[in-house]
Amino acid sequence: MNLSRATMAVVLIAGAAALVLARAGLVLQPVGDIALIELYTRDALAGTLLEGPYSHFPWHHPGPLYFYVLAPIYALGGRTPAALNAGAALLSLSSLGVIVWLLARRHSLWSAAIVLGCVVLYALRVDGLLVSVWNPHVVVLPTAVFLLAASGLAAGDGALLPLVVAAGSFVVQSDVAVVPVVAAVSLVALIAFAKQSRFSNRQLAAAVAIALLAWSVPLVEQVTATAAAGNAAALVRFFTTPRAAQPLAASFGAWSVAMATPLRGLFHPILPPSGNGVADATSFDLAAASALLIAAAAVTALAVRRGWHEAAWLGAIGTLAAVVSFASITRIDGPITDHQVFWMSIVGVVEVAAVLVVLAGPAFEARGSSGAAAVVLVTMLSVASIAALIQMNRARQGSAPATEFLPSIVNFGESIRRYVEVSGARRPLVRIDQQQWGIAAGILLQLHRLGVPFYVEDSWASMFPKRYRETGTEDVELTIVATGTDRQLAERAGDSLVDISTHVEVHGRRIR
């Protein structure tokens, strides 16, 4: 069996099937974060997006690479929420395909099968992970690609430098939480490689080209803004401002919950993060996370002693990433939420894989042929592909991860469009009530679909790309509030009730 061709065939066939399902999907109206992700993707498709995913802090994540990856798949899939899920499915399956290639390149095929088995079993247990477009979910499998590529680079494979740069850039731009791990692992991998060999001119040129391409948009955003207003400057200010560290007990508890996730109920589903607080660590979490870290460090030492170079670096990178993950939790500002630490669970998966490769790998290699291992690898990738298509089918029917759909948003979009046309407005300013911001995001996405321009008040500016920020030249005001929460709106001079539902009402008036 030609493993590379079989892997590529599985990914391409599954990706094509995901696009077919997306094009047959319902035209739905998402709310909350997924509505914003579709809005950002539409801007990326138009080539106007300069910022990364929004944050509840006064900055965006470092860059919009994720949305530019999604954009062409979104267009091919029919520009619906299901098309976004198809993009996430392609990204997930491509990550698994790259993992197969990486492992087969650097390890024996049975060791590769052990690592892939750990990753696939984990991915199958997290409900909807393979098609979820929420960036705390999206970064998980690409982070595995980064860690495995970095371990190969540290072991002496300079050809993996471009992949380390590409995967590291993607996860960093999509979620700033991974920056400490990516920085520490990249530094160690580069130092380890430099002690063994030198990069070829071609490898360096490819890495530089990928870095320039990946980071060109964030660079343009910073350069075209005033020095203080750029997103990179905002990130630097935020993370260099002294803040109280998290209590060690809370940090260790959150870290334990994340690291023990792969071991908790081995064949039971894993609840994905939802933006709530981290669950309290149980005694199992605390013991399992600590034991896993010790085991990963121990098998690293054992592999070094036995001269198993590749396995040693796999364990070392997993151990380093786990330690740095804990350190990064201590720097979280405010309450620790599940989506801030969930991505760390893939580090636990890498640790488990390293332990199994060292302890069980030799036994598999002694008893099985490489042909059988190749069949196992392709079979696991096929199982993951089938699971992704099952999740994709649910998503196209309206059961997508991390969101809800609200049909009444269509009516709000039409009502607002008519109001804006009748009023002769050209620059509507939108004010948003905190209580129903998720529905408001869905309404604004619908306005974007209809071609109705809008600008957002300053207090919500960091949630949207900068081009939507108010400028003071707006000519009509649209206020989206929870139904019945602000009766004073109707008493304003010139106020019009644009539309109302059980959850939301929209008021409009001219700005004089």
Residue pLDDT, tens place only, 285-330: 999 999 999 999 999 999 999 999 999 999 999 999 999 999 999 9
Same domain, 456 and 371: no
Same domain, 161 and 198: yes
Any domain includes 403 = no
CA distance 472 to 493: 20
Which pLDDT score, from 0 to 100, does residue 227 have?
Answer: 67
Q: Domain boundary at 338, 368, 396, which?
A: 396
Which pLDDT score, from 0 to 100, does residue 326 have?
Answer: 97
Any domain includes 121 = yes
Same domain, 113 and 252: yes
The alpha carbon dihedral of 401, 407, 413, 419 has a sign of: negative
Any domain includes 97 = yes
Same domain, 113 and 153: yes
Any domain includes 402 = no
CA distance 209 to 294: 39
**Which residues are CB-neighbours of 271 under 8 A, at least 6 positions away?**
127
Same domain, 373 and 415: no
Where is 482: in which H helix or E strand? strand 476-482
CA distance 313 to 143: 16
pLDDT tens for 37-66 read 999 999 999 999 999 999 988 899 999 999
Domain, as residue range, for 414: 409-510
Any domain includes 401 = no
Nearest to 110, CA basis, from 382, 380, 385: 380
Say if CB 60 and CB 53 are below 8 A apart. yes
Same domain, 187 and 108: yes
Which pLDDT score, from 0 to 100, does residue 273 have?
Answer: 85
Any domain includes 316 = yes
Radius of gyration from C-alpha coordinates of the chain = 24
Q: Domain boundary at 396, 423, 438, which?
A: 396
Q: Domain boundary at 363, 396, 429, which?
A: 396
Same domain, 217 and 310: yes
Same domain, 289 and 426: no
CA distance 443 to 175: 25
Same domain, 75 and 10: yes
Same domain, 132 and 269: yes
CA distance 309 to 321: 18
Q: What angle do CA 486, 487, 492 make, to 5 degrees?
A: 105
Any domain includes 404 = no
Any domain includes 15 = yes
Nearest to 288, CA basis, from 314, 321, 255: 255
Number of domains in the chain: 2
Which pLDDT score, from 0 to 100, does residue 221 have?
Answer: 95
CA distance 441 to 35: 6
Could you tell me whether strands 476-482 and 504-510 are parallel, antiparallel, or unpaired per DSSP bridges?
Answer: antiparallel
Same domain, 306 and 451: no
Same domain, 340 and 451: no
Low-confidence stretches of the chain (pLDDT beneath 70): 1, 227, 368
